[in-house]
Structures are given as C-alpha cells and as structure tokens.
A and B are shown apart, each in its own frame.
Chain A
Amino acid sequence: MSLQKVKCVLLIISGKGGVGKSTSAVQLALSLAEEGKKVALLDTDICGPSIPRMLDLNDCSVLQSERGWLPATITRSLSPSNHCFFTDENSAVIWRGPKKNSMIRQFINDVDWGELDYLVIDTPPGTSDEHISIVECLREQQKPDGAILITTPQILSINDVRRELTFCRKANIPIMGILENMSGYVCPHCSECTNIFSKGGGQSLAQYANVPYLGSIPIDPNLGECAEFGRNYIEQFKSSEAAQRFKTIARNLIEEVQ
C-alpha cells in the first residue's frame, strides 16, 4: 500500500485539453511546497506528458529501490514522477487503453511515495481509460480526497467540464472546486485587459453545479515562459497576479483539508 502515508490525494482534471491542467498542477504543487508541505506530483498523461518539461526534468530517469520506483526530487518538499522518464521526448506513445491502464496502476501502486502531505495527480483530457483506471485504483486505497476542475472561460470549454463534473459525481469523487484559467490578458503596451477567451464561465459553472469557485488565473506570458524552461514561476514572479492567486488557492486548500 504505497499511498498509506499520503495524507491527501488531489486530482487535477478537465474534460478539455490545453486549458492548463499541467501548468496548474505544477504551480499548485509548488505553492503547496512553498507553504512548507511535503508534496509529490504524478503525471498520468501517457500520450502527452508535459510535466518533465515544466520542471526541467527531461534528462531524469526513474530510479528503482527495494520498495519500488523512486520519484525524482526537485526541492526537498516536491517530487514529481512521470512515465516520460521512460521514453524519448520525440517518439510517440501509441498505446491503446489496456496498456495505459497497467502503466497507471503501476504508478500508483509501485512508486515509493513515502510520507506526503499532498499527492497532486495531473491527468490527460477526457473521461476515458486513464480516468476510470485512476479512480478505480485510488478507490482500492480509500482515496482520492478530491478533484480540482480546470476550465477556461469559453462556453466550448465549459461544456466539456460539465461532462467531467458528471464523471466525478458518478465516480463519487468530492469536487474541491473549479479554477478558471486564462481569464483575461493585459496588453503590455496599453494595459487594456482583453478577455480573449470570454469571461466569467468558471464562476457561472460553479454556481450552476453548486461547487466552490476557487478563483481565476489571468493570462501571463511569463507563466508560459517559465513552464517552457522549467523555471519556478512562483519563486521568480512572486508578486505577480497569477502567483498570488495560486498562493491563495493553495492556502485555502490547506485550510479546507485540515
């Protein structure tokens, strides 16, 4: 039972792709680590893993110990694990469902997570194989403790997240809240805020579905750039709007879990 000593397992999910699941997962994990918690990050997107790039861990490979696979460690309190450590960056993983499922099962059961306050699990888009497997696998161990849904403000994205809400309810996963990403963009030339992807969708969905609204993260090119180079955005742009929001969200999470 590798998750026995993990206090809280958080799923980061969204029906839609490219809304910032991995980015949010990384920033949340970093924010939680900033607050002094022991955090691990697990990337279960088998066909398109982004976490190694975002944490600058491209050259890492998985180490094996007596008790199982060891996650890679970044700071003393954050350790991510990812299957990408097994494959070359440019080659495609063309797997059908069953193979992906056994990989996920192995990640959850065979990684030696040790003692943790939080395990943040990043997922691929959709409501299919990977998601069913994660939930089944976690349920055997009386987890997960909750899911955070990520969306962007457009109706197109909200529609997919509505389906994901149904998935969570059917699978009996408590929803910790909805986070709206890419909310508005402030023009660096004239400071005019444009809502590129519309506005307020996350909040109205939270109201509609009667789940907590965690807040919105504005579009910040710096955040994207940090993700590209695997830099710690929370540390480098401490005073930025987005970093502050992540901090607040992390603090609220800690309170709620306690």
Chain B
Amino acid sequence: MNEKPPESCPGIGSQTAGKAAPCQGCPNAAFCASGQTSNALDPAVAEIARRLYSVRNIILVISGKGGVGKSTVATNIARALAEDESVSVGLLDIDVCGPSIPKTMNLEGEEVHQSSSGWSPIFVTDNLCVMSCGFLLPSLDDAVIWRGPKKNGLIKQFLKDVDWGDLHYLVVDTPPGTSDEHMSVVGYLKQCSNLKGAVIVATPQEVALLDVRKQIDFCKRVDLNIIGIVENMSSFVCPKCEKTSIIFKPTSGGVENVCESYNIPLLGKIPIDPLIGKSCDEGTSLYETDASSPTVKCLKEIVTHIVNKCENKL
C-alpha cells in the first residue's frame, strides 16, 4: 500500500536523485542515479511548450469530486472572459469519458477539422473557440471505454496539435479525480511558464470537501499553483417567495473553512440557480440572456478575481 515515495525522496528532477542518503535501499536508486530520468523527459513536453507559447494564460479547472460544476464553471469563465471582444479565449475539454462542453457551448455534432498547422478549434464567437474530446465521437451514444494510457495519448495530442493561435486565456476543463488525466496534463504542461494554476470547484458539503482536500494535496504534490476555490451550489433562492434555503448544508464550515485552513483565496460563491442549469442544457450564454441576474454578477466577480491573479503574475 505504499503509494507515496519515501519521506525524504529528493525527487527524480533533483541533482542528488539516487545519491542522497534516503535513496539507499530504494529499489529505484540505481535508475535515478544513472541520470536517465532527467533525459527520459517526453519530447512532447517541449513541443507542447512551443505550441502553447502563443497563449498568455493557461488555467486548469479541477475538482476531485464529480458533478460539482467544473464544466459549468469552465464554460462560464470562458464566456465571461470573452465578453471583452479584445480578449481571445480558448476552452479545452479533456474529459475523455464524459465530455460536457459540446453541450454547454451548443456545439454538439461538430467535427474536428484539420489544417496544415494542426487541428482547428471550433469557434463559438469571434473570440471564443473550443476543443473537446466530444467532437471526436460520432454519436451521443458512443462511449469511450479506454484505459489510462490511451487517454493520455489523446490529451497529449490535444495539447500538442490544436492550432489555438494567439490566445489571452486557455481554460482547461478536466474530469473528476486525481488520476491519469490530471497527472498527464500537469506533466505535459510542466515546461509551460504560462500555466497560471488551477481553479478548484467545490460544493459546500463535507462529502465534497473531502475530495477537495485531496485535490489540494494533489496540487501541492505535483507543484501546481492554486489560483483559488469557487464554491458552487451555495444556496438556493426560491423563485416564488425569494427566500433563501440551504440545500447542500456546509456542515463542516463549507469551502470558507477549507480556504482558511489551507490559506487559499475563496474566489466567490455561486448560488444554485435553475438559470445556470438551463443555460448549460441549451448551450446559451447567461451573459446575453440574463445579464442582470445576481448569479451573473457573481460569476463576473469570480472572473475578475482570476484575471487579477493572472495579470499580477505577469
């Protein structure tokens, strides 16, 4: 059950790999000491860094738990960023087994086109383009029943071969968990200095926060910066009596508590609003249909937060 490296492992990237004191007795010591590990870097990593050089900010949207609204948040971040016509935005969906972005962006049935400079993303508006695994599936009933290595291959291709052009922001939507896809995407983006970090999406219940803590641990271990946490499905405002009720109770203090204890910024709270679900199901933009609703205001604030974080780091 030993899934962790030894306590004081210097890591394969280190100069002392295989030669430090704790390496004695480690079954991999000889391999690390041979220096092959640093050379064993996948050549694709450098290729990906070159390809994504024209992107100014890369943001990952992650969550250990499924169904908390990663795709919804990713979609709305992308749409909000693209509200400013001078900002060009790309949205990449690497959820191989359950791609939702084609639905939320109303792009179902689209196919990927190839040009001499790579795969062309599909444009929703002039300054918002999308690439998703869903575009590779001929029918909605088709399941992708793949094991890890095959998924990694596809993710690599998506990062390496999509011709994004000059982008201000590339938002990457991920599947739930801390497994193959996540390790791969972080590993492949290792040499991208424009990777600004991850936005974690969470819901207030402890059952979901359990997975969030795991996700924070994951980010620390793979050295991925956390931009902040978004609390989704915070509270519900009855459309009839306009009174608030809490559906998913924050029994352990909610996301606020987690943010405080890990010292991570809380980017904002998104209420439960049937409008959001509806806009995702219909693939419409909330910013056009319901620009004045409090939910939209809240989403915009979150995006302002993210933009500030990204720009400050430049």
Contacts and interface: CB of A to CB of B under 8 A. Distances in A.
A92 B218 CA distance: 6
A48 B148 contact: no
B177 A124 contact: yes
22 contacts: A15-B98, A16-B98, A48-B66, A91-B217, A93-B214, A96-B179, A97-B147, A125-B67, A127-B144, A128-B148, A128-B151, A129-B179, A152-B67, A154-B277, A154-B280, A160-B98, A167-B145, A187-B238, A187-B240, A187-B245, A228-B207, A228-B251
Interface in A180-227: 185, 187-190, 192, 194-198, 219, 221, 224-225, 227
B239 interface: yes
Interface residues of A, number: 67
Contacts, number: 219
Interface in A49-94: 50, 53-54, 86-87, 89-94
A17 interface: yes
B177 A18 contact: no
Interface residues of B, number: 67
Q: Which 4 A-B pairs have the closest CB atoms?
A: A17-B66, A18-B67, A97-B148, A190-B241
Contacts of A126: 97-98, 175-176
Contact of B180 (A97, A165, A188): A97
Interface stretch (B42-50, B123-131, B135-143, B155-163): B135-143
Contacts of B281: 154-156, 198
Contacts of A16: 66-67, 98
Please indicate which of the listed interface residues B142, B176, B183, B208 has the most CB atoms of chain A within 10 Å of its own CB: B176
Given A17-B65, A54-B207, A97-B149, A162 B140 contact: yes
Interface of A: 15-19, 22, 46-48, 50, 53-54, 86-87, 89-100, 124-129, 131-132, 152, 154-157, 159-160, 162-167, 170-171, 185, 187-190, 192, 194-198, 219, 221, 224-225, 227-229
A228 B179 contact: no
Interface in B271-310: 272, 274, 277-278, 280-281
A47 B281 CA distance: 28
Contacts of B175: 125-126
A110 B148 CA distance: 24
B207 A53 contact: yes
B141 A165 contact: yes
Given A48-B211, A97-B149, A196-B272, A125 B143 contact: no
Given A48-B176, A128-B145, 7 more contacts: A16-B67, A22-B207, A90-B213, A132-B147, A160-B100, A166-B142, A170-B143
Please indicate which of the listed interface residues A16, A93, A162 has the most CB atoms of chain B within 10 Å of its own CB: A93
Contact of A156 (B3, B71, B96): B71
A112 to B, nearest CB: 18
B210 interface: yes
B251 A159 contact: no
A224 B248 contact: yes
